[in-house]
Amino acid sequence: MLLKELKCPGCGAPLKSKERDIMLKCDHCGRISLFADGKINDVGYSIASPAKEHSGELIYVPFWIVNADLNVHKESISGGKISRFITDQRQMRGTRDFYVCASAIPEEFSREWNMDLTLDQPKLNLISDFKGGKRAVMTMRKEIAGENAEFLFLRYEAEIPGTLQKLDYDFRINSTKVLYLPAYKISDKYVLGVSNE
Protein backbone atom coordinates (compact mmCIF):
# COMPACT_ATOMS: atom_id res chain seq x y z
CA MET A 1 0.00 0.00 0.00
CA LEU A 2 1.33 3.43 -0.95
CA LEU A 3 0.82 6.27 1.49
CA LYS A 4 0.55 9.73 0.01
CA GLU A 5 2.32 12.47 1.96
CA LEU A 6 0.02 15.38 2.74
CA LYS A 7 1.51 18.81 2.10
CA CYS A 8 0.39 22.28 3.15
CA PRO A 9 -1.10 24.12 0.15
CA GLY A 10 0.43 27.34 1.48
CA CYS A 11 4.09 26.50 2.07
CA GLY A 12 4.49 22.87 0.97
CA ALA A 13 5.56 21.61 4.40
CA PRO A 14 4.37 18.11 5.39
CA LEU A 15 1.11 18.00 7.35
CA LYS A 16 0.79 15.69 10.32
CA SER A 17 -2.09 14.79 12.60
CA LYS A 18 -1.85 12.58 15.65
CA GLU A 19 -5.61 12.36 16.01
CA ARG A 20 -8.44 11.84 13.55
CA ASP A 21 -8.70 15.57 12.92
CA ILE A 22 -9.90 16.52 9.44
CA MET A 23 -8.74 20.13 9.98
CA LEU A 24 -4.95 19.99 9.65
CA LYS A 25 -2.77 22.81 10.90
CA CYS A 26 0.62 23.38 9.33
CA ASP A 27 3.36 23.49 11.98
CA HIS A 28 5.46 25.64 9.66
CA CYS A 29 3.16 28.47 8.46
CA GLY A 30 0.08 27.98 10.70
CA ARG A 31 -2.38 27.55 7.82
CA ILE A 32 -5.37 25.30 8.52
CA SER A 33 -6.67 23.08 5.71
CA LEU A 34 -9.53 20.61 5.40
CA PHE A 35 -8.71 16.97 4.63
CA ALA A 36 -11.61 15.51 2.63
CA ASP A 37 -11.93 12.81 -0.03
CA GLY A 38 -8.21 12.06 0.18
CA LYS A 39 -7.27 15.67 -0.67
CA ILE A 40 -6.16 18.79 1.15
CA ASN A 41 -8.56 21.68 0.51
CA ASP A 42 -8.65 25.32 1.52
CA VAL A 43 -11.40 26.07 4.02
CA GLY A 44 -12.71 29.32 5.38
CA TYR A 45 -12.97 29.40 9.14
CA SER A 46 -13.55 31.92 11.90
CA ILE A 47 -12.68 31.92 15.59
CA ALA A 48 -14.97 33.52 18.18
CA SER A 49 -13.57 35.40 21.13
CA PRO A 50 -14.00 33.70 24.53
CA ALA A 51 -15.81 35.25 27.47
CA LYS A 52 -13.53 36.40 30.23
CA GLU A 53 -15.69 35.43 33.20
CA HIS A 54 -15.35 31.63 32.91
CA SER A 55 -12.89 29.23 34.47
CA GLY A 56 -11.71 25.82 33.36
CA GLU A 57 -9.74 24.58 30.36
CA LEU A 58 -10.41 26.69 27.26
CA ILE A 59 -11.15 24.63 24.15
CA TYR A 60 -12.14 25.98 20.74
CA VAL A 61 -14.87 23.68 19.43
CA PRO A 62 -15.46 23.47 15.66
CA PHE A 63 -18.98 23.92 14.32
CA TRP A 64 -20.18 23.63 10.76
CA ILE A 65 -22.41 26.60 9.99
CA VAL A 66 -24.85 25.33 7.36
CA ASN A 67 -26.74 28.11 5.60
CA ALA A 68 -29.91 26.68 4.07
CA ASP A 69 -33.21 27.69 2.52
CA LEU A 70 -36.07 26.00 4.34
CA ASN A 71 -39.46 26.10 2.68
CA VAL A 72 -42.40 24.30 4.31
CA HIS A 73 -45.11 23.64 1.71
CA LYS A 74 -47.58 21.88 3.97
CA GLU A 75 -47.74 20.64 7.53
CA SER A 76 -50.46 18.85 9.40
CA ILE A 77 -50.56 19.02 13.20
CA SER A 78 -52.99 17.25 15.48
CA GLY A 79 -53.59 19.26 18.67
CA GLY A 80 -51.17 21.90 19.87
CA LYS A 81 -51.92 24.54 17.22
CA ILE A 82 -53.44 26.82 19.84
CA SER A 83 -50.56 26.10 22.20
CA ARG A 84 -48.08 26.97 19.43
CA PHE A 85 -49.90 30.24 18.81
CA ILE A 86 -50.28 31.20 22.50
CA THR A 87 -46.66 30.44 23.38
CA ASP A 88 -45.49 32.23 20.22
CA GLN A 89 -43.52 29.15 19.22
CA ARG A 90 -40.73 30.14 16.85
CA GLN A 91 -40.61 28.43 13.49
CA MET A 92 -37.60 27.49 11.43
CA ARG A 93 -38.43 28.90 8.03
CA GLY A 94 -36.71 30.79 5.22
CA THR A 95 -32.95 31.25 4.90
CA ARG A 96 -31.07 30.60 8.12
CA ASP A 97 -27.85 29.28 9.63
CA PHE A 98 -27.84 25.91 11.35
CA TYR A 99 -25.10 25.28 13.93
CA VAL A 100 -23.76 21.72 13.94
CA CYS A 101 -21.06 20.74 16.44
CA ALA A 102 -18.33 18.97 14.45
CA SER A 103 -16.24 17.61 17.31
CA ALA A 104 -16.49 14.56 19.53
CA ILE A 105 -18.00 16.55 22.41
CA PRO A 106 -20.46 14.37 24.39
CA GLU A 107 -23.95 14.51 22.86
CA GLU A 108 -25.56 15.74 26.08
CA PHE A 109 -23.77 19.07 25.43
CA SER A 110 -23.51 19.26 21.64
CA ARG A 111 -27.18 18.40 21.05
CA GLU A 112 -28.32 21.30 23.25
CA TRP A 113 -25.73 23.67 21.76
CA ASN A 114 -26.87 22.90 18.20
CA MET A 115 -30.50 23.74 18.96
CA ASP A 116 -29.82 26.77 21.18
CA LEU A 117 -27.33 28.36 18.76
CA THR A 118 -29.56 27.71 15.74
CA LEU A 119 -32.58 29.31 17.42
CA ASP A 120 -30.73 32.20 19.11
CA GLN A 121 -27.76 32.99 16.93
CA PRO A 122 -25.01 34.68 18.92
CA LYS A 123 -23.39 37.99 18.07
CA LEU A 124 -19.70 37.17 17.90
CA ASN A 125 -16.43 39.00 18.17
CA LEU A 126 -13.93 37.26 15.93
CA ILE A 127 -10.24 36.83 16.70
CA SER A 128 -7.33 35.73 14.53
CA ASP A 129 -5.95 32.78 16.50
CA PHE A 130 -6.66 30.28 19.27
CA LYS A 131 -5.37 32.50 22.09
CA GLY A 132 -5.14 30.87 25.47
CA GLY A 133 -6.76 27.58 24.45
CA LYS A 134 -6.43 24.51 22.32
CA ARG A 135 -8.25 23.62 19.12
CA ALA A 136 -10.59 20.64 19.47
CA VAL A 137 -10.38 17.87 16.91
CA MET A 138 -12.87 18.15 14.03
CA THR A 139 -14.36 14.77 13.18
CA MET A 140 -17.47 15.56 11.11
CA ARG A 141 -17.37 15.85 7.33
CA LYS A 142 -19.26 18.66 5.57
CA GLU A 143 -21.78 16.28 3.96
CA ILE A 144 -22.73 14.83 7.35
CA ALA A 145 -23.14 18.36 8.73
CA GLY A 146 -25.76 19.08 6.06
CA GLU A 147 -27.69 15.95 7.01
CA ASN A 148 -27.47 16.89 10.70
CA ALA A 149 -28.74 20.42 9.96
CA GLU A 150 -31.83 18.98 8.26
CA PHE A 151 -32.31 16.55 11.15
CA LEU A 152 -32.10 19.51 13.57
CA PHE A 153 -35.06 21.09 11.79
CA LEU A 154 -37.06 17.83 11.89
CA ARG A 155 -36.24 17.28 15.58
CA TYR A 156 -37.43 20.79 16.39
CA GLU A 157 -40.70 20.29 14.51
CA ALA A 158 -41.31 16.98 16.30
CA GLU A 159 -40.61 18.39 19.79
CA ILE A 160 -42.91 21.43 19.75
CA PRO A 161 -46.53 21.05 21.00
CA GLY A 162 -48.95 18.95 18.99
CA THR A 163 -48.50 15.75 17.03
CA LEU A 164 -46.85 16.31 13.69
CA GLN A 165 -48.73 14.15 11.19
CA LYS A 166 -47.42 15.42 7.87
CA LEU A 167 -44.59 17.69 6.79
CA ASP A 168 -43.84 18.55 3.17
CA TYR A 169 -40.76 20.75 2.85
CA ASP A 170 -37.64 21.62 0.83
CA PHE A 171 -34.25 21.92 2.50
CA ARG A 172 -31.60 23.39 0.18
CA ILE A 173 -28.06 24.06 1.40
CA ASN A 174 -26.54 27.31 0.14
CA SER A 175 -23.13 27.21 1.84
CA THR A 176 -21.13 25.77 4.69
CA LYS A 177 -18.30 27.25 6.73
CA VAL A 178 -16.39 26.44 9.88
CA LEU A 179 -16.66 28.42 13.10
CA TYR A 180 -14.67 27.70 16.23
CA LEU A 181 -16.58 28.59 19.38
CA PRO A 182 -14.89 28.78 22.78
CA ALA A 183 -15.98 26.32 25.44
CA TYR A 184 -14.69 25.65 28.92
CA LYS A 185 -14.12 22.13 30.20
CA ILE A 186 -14.72 21.88 33.92
CA SER A 187 -14.27 18.30 35.18
CA ASP A 188 -16.45 16.30 32.77
CA LYS A 189 -18.73 19.20 31.79
CA TYR A 190 -18.51 21.60 28.87
CA VAL A 191 -19.85 25.17 28.94
CA LEU A 192 -19.93 27.46 25.92
CA GLY A 193 -18.07 30.67 26.66
CA VAL A 194 -18.88 33.04 23.81
CA SER A 195 -18.11 36.72 24.33
CA ASN A 196 -20.65 39.22 22.98
CA GLU A 197 -18.47 42.24 23.81
pLDDT tens per residue, range 133-178: 899 999 999 999 999 999 998 888 777 655 556 677 889 999 999 9
pTM: 0.84
Report the C-alpha gap between 108 and 58 in whole angstroms: 19
More confident position, 131 or 99: 99
Residue spans of the domains in the chain: they are 43-192
Tell me the CA distances in angstroms from 12 to 15, 16, 34, 128, 189, one per residue in order: 9, 12, 15, 22, 39
